[in-house]
Amino acid sequence: MVNITSFLALIIAITIHEFSHAYVADRLGDPTPRSHGRLSLNPLKHLDPIGTIMIFVAPFGWGKPVPIDPYNLRHPKRDELFIALAGPASNLILASILATIYSQLTNPIIYIIAIINIYLAVFNLLPIPPLDGSKIFLNLLPPEKSIEWEEAFEKYGPFLLIAFIFLPIGGSNIISLVTAPIVKLISASLGLK
């Protein structure tokens, strides 16, 4: 079970993450997030009911995906890449700011919020749908390859993600085996020890 500090840290991380997707999409010409009320730092605008419940059960969770209409974007392929990067980048920026504060205050709550933001960023950069990393990966491919991969991603991606999260491997899972060393490296580089 997740404690209240971790719960609040996840809520902050998810809110910043989803708001950043919305903000960048809006700046790049897509009014869809604004029209859906997602250009907000109010957590209630971004929380998914099941994703929020999962925070208490798993403990991990997710927010509601920010709706994007690529037809409103001036440069759809490039802009979708920037929008997808915005969420993880915002979590890493927040973690960096918190690490600077932590170096002066060494408050455990600041540490937890920073670490959870790093975890959320790294997790979302995995190239598995529906994570941001899959959108980044697809938009870096040539158009014809992107279409081929997208069909396979849409069909199998969510099932792979669930398997990677829940299938145990040596007391852990595939996601943790991949993300934990990266999180540890980033944390150490920010002075979060």
pLDDT digits (tens, 9 = 90+) for 153-170: 778 888 888 888 888 887
Q: What is the pLDDT of residue 101?
A: 96
Rounded CA separation 69/61 (Å):
25
* Torsion angle of the four alpha carbons 37, 91, 23, 143, in this order, in degrees rounded to the nearest 10: -110
Q: What is the structure's pLDDT at 60? A: 67
Q: How far is CA 169 from CA 73, 103, 116, 158, 163, in A?
A: 42, 35, 22, 19, 11
66-89: average pLDDT: 96
What pTM does this model have?
0.92
Task: Dump pLDDT digits (tens) for 31-60.
Answer: 999 999 999 999 999 998 888 787 777 656
Instruction: Give residue 36's domain range.
Output: 4-189
The percent of residues in the chain predicted with pLDDT above 70, rounded, is 97
1, pLDDT greater than 60: no
Q: Which residues are catalytic?
A: 18
For residue 70, whether the previous peptide bond is cis, meaning omega lies within 30 degrees of 0, is no
Q: Which of 49, 36, 63 shows the shortest CA–CA distance to 132?
A: 63
Q: Average pLDDT in the 94-117 region?
A: 95
Say if CB 94 and CB 119 are below 8 A apart.
no
Q: Which residue would you say has higher pLDDT here, 156 or 137?
A: 137
Most confident of 13-27, 44-58, 139-153: 13-27
CB atoms within 10 A of CB 11: 19
Number of domains in the chain: 1
